[in-house]
Amino acid sequence: MRNVTEDEEPCGKCSYQQSCGRKCHRRGTGGKVNQFFVAERLCSARQIRGNEQDTACVAQDINNCAIWPNPDIP
């Protein structure tokens, strides 16, 4: 993906994962306790140098759109 973008800024929908410890219990179906729960969320603008998720990628301008395979994109 990086070879079709103009700059080295963070690009795309990244996620931040954090797993909880023993005190992060969540009851599942049937009364069972899931003792290991992983939370996930999209990166904030602060985490990708102030870029918003939708504008983080700046694509190169390739004059004409072509159906794949496009020889201008390696």
Q: Which domain holds residue 21?
A: 13-53
Whole-structure pTM value: 0.29
| Residue at 72 is within a domain | no
pLDDT digits 0-9 by tens, 21-33: 555 555 555 565 5
Domain assignment of residue 62, yes or no:
no
| Residue-wise pLDDT tens digits, 2-22 | 566 666 666 666 655 555 555
Task: With respect to residue 31, please indicate whether it lies within any of the assigned structural domains.
Answer: yes
Residue 46 lies in a domain: yes
What is the number of structural domains in the chain?
A: 1
In a domain, 35, yes or no: yes
30 assigned to some structural domain: yes
DSSP H or E stretch at residue 18 = strand 15-19
Within-domain flag for 40: yes
